[in-house]
Amino acid sequence: MNKIASFSIILLALTSILGCNNNADVKETSSQSNVSQSNVSQSKNGNSIPQKVEGNEAAGRNSFDSSIYYASENNPTIKNSDNQIVWKEGNVVLTAAISKAEGEQVHQSNTVISSITVESSNGTYTIALDKKPLGIQSVDLSKNNQLAVHVRDHEGSRLILLSLSSGKQIVLNNLPETGSEKIDSYNWSPDGNTIAFGIGNIGSSYIALYNTEDNTFSNLSEKDFTLITSVVWHKDGQGFDFLSQTDDAKNPVILYQYTLKDHLISKVTANLTENEQTTLTTKYLPIKIEK
């Protein structure tokens, strides 16, 4: 009986030890599961500044493909003279008066844009200019009746948005979240509600969005892309590609893409041909007024 009792005690001890180990494994697995769920929840609830993605895994692209790009149907007429610039698209007419530079601007240019007026079926608006620009780089009309006017300054540039429905206008550089010297390339989304653009100071450029429906500005990345020369939306409106001109001699031009669904930026390719770069800058961007 003593031997049987001793054997029973040993068996119970082994069972207890194995049970503890199994419980520990379950707890560890449960803990790991909770951490994973916490990360997913945090990702969904969101960081307002999406994180940069290394490589192309998230986007599933690693080459230039112009077939996915949205091309605006806008075909404006542009007339330049010594006294004015007239840009016309449908019933929308923008007239910029050119005059001789005065004061400090004499050292920057011989002429300035002294006034900009816009006429449409909704009325006539005057664009407020706290500082007279030296020229107009481009003008572009969105599908929801928003006009983007890209003006050139001595150092930098401004992007002015004018609602042809309400007359409301804003300068993207002057938003409280921005305060930047320049706007690089920009482009309207296919539905016309959102404009994507490069913004920064001289020598820097960050990719951003502005939504005209809820008047919200979104900085999409903390990464400095140096100079963003092209922004081109995808046909489905669910993202866009942008071209970064860098200081790296080995990779002077890099194509990135941003997806609205995942809020992710990924590198597409650094091997763009000159023809591909030209396609981006001539076929899909707002038509340049200044060559």
CB 124 within 8 A of CB 117: yes
- pTM here is 0.79
Tokens found for residue 140 = 């572009």
pLDDT in tens, 57-107: 344 578 999 999 999 999 999 999 999 999 999 999 999 999 999 999 999
User: What are the tens digits of pLDDT across the range 19-49?
Assistant: 444 444 433 333 332 222 222 223 333 334 4
Strand, coil or helix: 196: strand
pLDDT in tens, 233-291: 999 999 999 999 988 777 789 999 999 999 999 999 998 999 999 999 889 999 999 86
- CA–chain centroid gap for 9, Å, is 71
**Helix, strand or coil for residue 72?**
coil
Amino acid, single-letter form, for residue 101: A
Q: How confident is the model at residue 179 (pLDDT cuts 50, 70, 90)?
A: confident
Count how many Cα atoms sit within 13 Å of the Cα of residue 150 in the half-sphere of its side chain. Answer: 23
SS3 36: helix
Average pLDDT over residues 137-156: 96
Side-chain-side CA neighbours of residue 284 (13 Å): 30
